[in-house]
Amino acid sequence: MPELPEVETVVRGLRGVLPGRSIVSVRLGKTDFIDDPAALGEHLPGRRIIAVERIGKFIRVELATVEKGEARSAPAEKTSGDLNLMVHLGMTGRLAVRAPNEPVAPHTHGFFDLDDGNELRYTDIRRFGRILLVPAEGLPEFQSRLGEDALFVSAREFSRRLAGRRARIKALLLDQKSLRGMGNIYADESLWRARIHPARLAANLKEEEVARLHQAIRQVLRTAIKLGGSSISDFLDAEGKPGSYQMRHRVYGREGEKCFRCGAIVRRIIVAGRSSHFCPRCQPAPRPPRKRRRLRKSGK
């Protein structure tokens, strides 16, 4: 499933081919994951791609209106865009440039025809992804609804975001409004590295634990990006190549196997509605051992 490292990998791939290209036309299949399907055909054709960026788990394709008289060979870049095509890959989304004669993968629901004859294709088996247009002036608000990027957040800001929060740390890591870009795999991996149990309340973390977690997140994400992300459940980069970070997973998907650090058996529990993998010895549970306590016989 695409999380920050996978999205970053896709963005880097697209950045090499998309800027400078113009969108000629748009063809759509199923559209239930698109905010305003009609708007795509209305506003994209004729615009030129000037940049590709990552905002949390969103891919931002920045588009500019091509001025009248400006040849299609005119230098790209510099002008600032007036429209952004935002793509969230959800669980199974893929975004890649393909030649028209290449076979179309099943569940491909979006074709953005480019002026060089190629197609930017959006494929999404489960359609948990999302596509929407955000005008340039709406971008600040769009961004403000997401937290700091998990890869760039400073130690100070990170700890400020956790301070006083009564939510479980796992829930906060997954909450995009708190920290953008984290997903289930990297949350579990980071917590294991930092030796923090996923069900701990953020407010109860000691200062050094918060610092350790911040470090762990950076390390895990950086290494994952370097390896092209994790390819489980068929993630492929923009060129169709798998990443290899799944080989480095220390707890995710390892329930019942031995902890790489201490040898205890890795467990899986549900925290914040998500399956959470952890080592019961390295990541001690918070005091009330998460058992469901019987309601006390009323009285006082």
Partner DNA sequence: AGCTCTTCCTGAAAGC
Partner DNA sequence: TGCTTTCAGGAAGAGC
Site membership for DNA, residue 91 (CB under 7 A): yes
DSSP letters for 202-238: GGG--HHHHHHHHHHHHHHHHHHHHTT---STT---T
Give the shortest CB-31-to-DNA separation in angstroms. 11
Binding residue (CB under 7 A) for DNA from 43, 48, 121, 168: 168
Site membership for DNA, residue 273 (CB under 7 A): yes
Binding residue (CB under 7 A) for DNA from 24, 128, 132, 267: 128
Site membership for DNA, residue 3 (CB under 7 A): yes
- Kindly indicate which of the ranges 79-87, 211-219, 235-243, 273-281 contains the residues binding DNA, using the contact rule CB under 7 A: 273-281
Binding residue (CB under 7 A) for DNA from 107, 248, 261, 281: 107
Give the shortest CB-6-to-DNA separation in angstroms. 10
Query: 14 and 59 in contact (C-beta within 8 Å)?
Result: yes
Task: Pick between residue 7 and residue 14 the one whose CB is nearest to DNA.
Answer: 7
- Kindly indicate which of the ranges 21-29, 36-44, 125-133, 243-251 contains the residues binding DNA, using the contact rule CB under 7 A: 125-133
Site membership for DNA, residue 287 (CB under 7 A): no
Binding residue (CB under 7 A) for DNA from 40, 59, 114, 171: 171
Coil vs helix vs strand at 132: strand
Binding residue (CB under 7 A) for DNA from 27, 248, 261, 274: 274
Site membership for DNA, residue 86 (CB under 7 A): no
Site membership for DNA, residue 31 (CB under 7 A): no
Give the shortest CB-204-to-DNA separation in angstroms. 11
Task: State the catalytic residues.
Answer: 2-3, 57, 274
DSSP letters for the chain: ---HHHHHHHHHHHHTTSTT-BEEEEEES--TTBS-HHHHHHHSTTEEEEEEEEETTEEEEEEEEPPTT--TTS--SSS--SEEEEEE-TTTEEEEEE-TTSPPPTTEEEEEEETTS-EEEEEESS---EEEEEEGGGHHHHHHTS-EETTT--HHHHHHHHTT--SBHHHHHH-TTTEES--HHHHHHHHHHHT--TTSBGGG--HHHHHHHHHHHHHHHHHHHHTT---STT---TTS----GGGG-SSTT-TTSBPTTT-PBPEEEEETTEEEEE-TTTSPPPSS-S--PPPP-S--
- Kindly indicate which of the ranges 21-29, 72-80, 162-170, 235-243 contains the residues binding DNA, using the contact rule CB under 7 A: 162-170
**Residues 41 to 60: which contact DNA by CB under 7 A?**
56-57
Site membership for DNA, residue 272 (CB under 7 A): yes
Task: Pick between residue 50 and residue 272 the one whose CB is nearest to DNA.
Answer: 272
**Residues 211 to 250: which contact DNA by CB under 7 A?**
none
Site membership for DNA, residue 167 (CB under 7 A): yes
Site membership for DNA, residue 14 (CB under 7 A): no
| Phi and psi torsions of 136, nearest 5° | -50, -40
Residues that bind DNA (CB under 7 A): 1, 3, 32, 56-57, 88, 90-91, 106-107, 125-128, 165-168, 171, 174, 176, 183-185, 201, 272-275
